[in-house]
Amino acid sequence: MRCLENGIFAKTTVKPLSSVFDLSNEKKVVSMLVNAGEWFTVSGLRRTGKTTLVRSVANSFNVIPIYVNLWDIPAENISLDSCFELITNSVRKVAENRGLRKVLKIVDKISFFGVSIDIKVRSQISLTDAFRELCSKGRVVLIIDEVQELLRYSGAFKYLAALHDELAPSLSVVFLGSIASLRNVLERPESGPLYGRLSEEIVLKPFDEITSRRLLKAGFEECNVSIDDEIIEEASLRLGGFAGWLTHFGRICVLQHLRGEKIRLEKVLQHLEKEVILTIYGEIARALTERKKVTSYLRVLRYAAEMGEVSVSAASKLLGKAPSTAITYLKHLVNRGLLKKDNESYRIADPLVRRAVLRSEFEKEVKVRIV
């Protein structure tokens, strides 16, 4: 069905711009920044549509997009070398698709695994050569997704800063991250090389309730599925305005309709929860990887889910730690998009994450996924 292939409810993160619902201002800004060869960040909670916005805009005009998703590297294998290797592979793929033989020849010589430091340094230089060669063919946009995974490696940012100085504005780099503000983090001392090289930050937020309803209505209309207004209203309330959940909900309804089933809200929500629960546990695990005292983080989340919110003093009492320590825990959870600060209290930002945290298997399922 076409509407599920490239329409509003389609799962893909590269869509025709008309299927990227709302966000007209963000589309304009991304397109303007990319065209100007700027380097910039896009931040926001998970499933607010960061990847879809940037990839869809970059694919809508005449540039060479290169997409690198650091989550393609399993958490246990992530290292500076594996990041460079991933970028190299993405460049290789683009060169293959476009038949760019000169680029392929350069890329073939590059190797980061199991080689001496000298060869790694030479490989970095060759990677820059490959980008330079690509830039001679047209404007290049490198999209680096899940950049929070890279923050530990200052070497990556030094490399990127040098790349900036050599190839911007022919090369534009967009950094995407599911953290509160990527730009704030990228300007910290350990990732300092990019300081002064980044222009504005785009922050995506969940849709408000009215926009969520409009998205669902437009998606169902596109798929020729008529659905009760009540279901649309209730789903807009329950899915917290997250584009990822709204479109996933839409897909399930459309598929049920195609099978001739009657669409029942509770059943669809249960189905959605079942399909996404393990992904959510995996995301929480990844946000807590390399943290000491994982159990304490999980207890704070559990408390916030049960009580609806958690304050600094409540977290401090719960953990038996000083308020300053409790703040460190809360800040990390906010930074990784799991909690949202609301005046003086912290809430779980995403209603489906909250439901996942409330389940009895929560702690066990997260812990088995932490590497």
Ligand X SMILES: Nc1ncnc2c1ncn2[C@@H]1O[C@H](COP(=O)(O)OP(=O)(O)OP(=O)(O)O)[C@@H](O)[C@H]1O
Nearer to Mg ion (CB atom), residue 43 or residue 191? 43
Is the separation of the CB atoms in 148 and 289 below 8 Å? no
Q: Is 355 in the site for ligand X (CB under 6 A)?
A: no
CA distances from 203 to 43, 216, 217, 342 (A): 5, 22, 25, 17
Give least dist CB 19 to ligand X, A.
6
Closest CB to ligand X: residue number: 49
Work out what residue 56 binds among ligand X, Mg ion, none; the CB cut-off runs from 5 to 8 Å by kind.
Answer: none
Contact with ligand X (CB under 6 A) among 37, 40, 50, 68:
50
Give least dist CB 103 to Mg ion, A.
26
Q: Is 100 in the site for ligand X (CB under 6 A)?
A: no
Q: Is 47 in the site for ligand X (CB under 6 A)?
A: yes
Judged by CB under 6 A, the chain residues 227 through 256 that form the site for ligand X are 243-244, 247
Contact with ligand X (CB under 6 A) among 37, 40, 46, 149:
46
Q: Is 88 in the site for ligand X (CB under 6 A)?
A: no
Judged by CB under 6 A, the chain residues 324 through 353 that form the site for ligand X are none
Q: Is 70 in the site for ligand X (CB under 6 A)?
A: no
Nearer to Mg ion (CB atom), residue 51 or residue 172? 51
**Contact stretch for ligand X (CB under 6 A) within 31-39, 45-53, 150-158, 315-323:** 45-53
Q: Is 86 in the site for ligand X (CB under 6 A)?
A: no
CA distances from 325 to 202, 205, 301 (A): 31, 28, 15
Give the 3-state secondary structure of 305-364: HHHCCEEHHHHHHHHCCCHHHHHHHHHHHHHCCCEEEECCEEEECCHHHHHHHHCCCHHH
Q: Is the dihedral of CA 341, 364, 74, 280 positive or negative?
A: negative
Applying CB under 5 A, the residues found at the interface with Mg ion are 50-51
Amino acid at 11: K
Q: Is 20 in the site for ligand X (CB under 6 A)?
A: yes
Nearer to ligand X (CB atom), residue 52 or residue 126? 52
Residue at token pair 């008309």: 18
Give least dist CB 327 to ligand X, A.
25
Q: Which two tokens stand for residue 289?
A: 């990887």
Contact with ligand X (CB under 6 A) among 1, 5, 11, 24:
11
Is the separation of the CB atoms in 163 and 84 below 8 Å? no
**CA separation for the pair 312, 300 (Å, rounded):** 10
Q: Count the Cβ atoms, other than its own, within 10 Å of residue 262.
A: 7
Work out what residue 303 binds among Mg ion, ligand X, none; the CB cut-off runs from 5 to 8 Å by kind.
Answer: none
Cα angle: 31, vertex 33, 35; to 5 degrees: 65
Size of the chain in residues: 371
Q: Per the omega criterion (within 30 degrees of 0), is the bond before 16 cis? A: no
Work out what residue 49 binds among Mg ion, ligand X, none; the CB cut-off runs from 5 to 8 Å by kind.
Answer: ligand X
Nearer to ligand X (CB atom), residue 8 or residue 147? 8
Q: What residues line the site for ligand X (CB under 6 A)? A: 8, 10-13, 20-23, 44, 46-52, 178, 243-244, 247
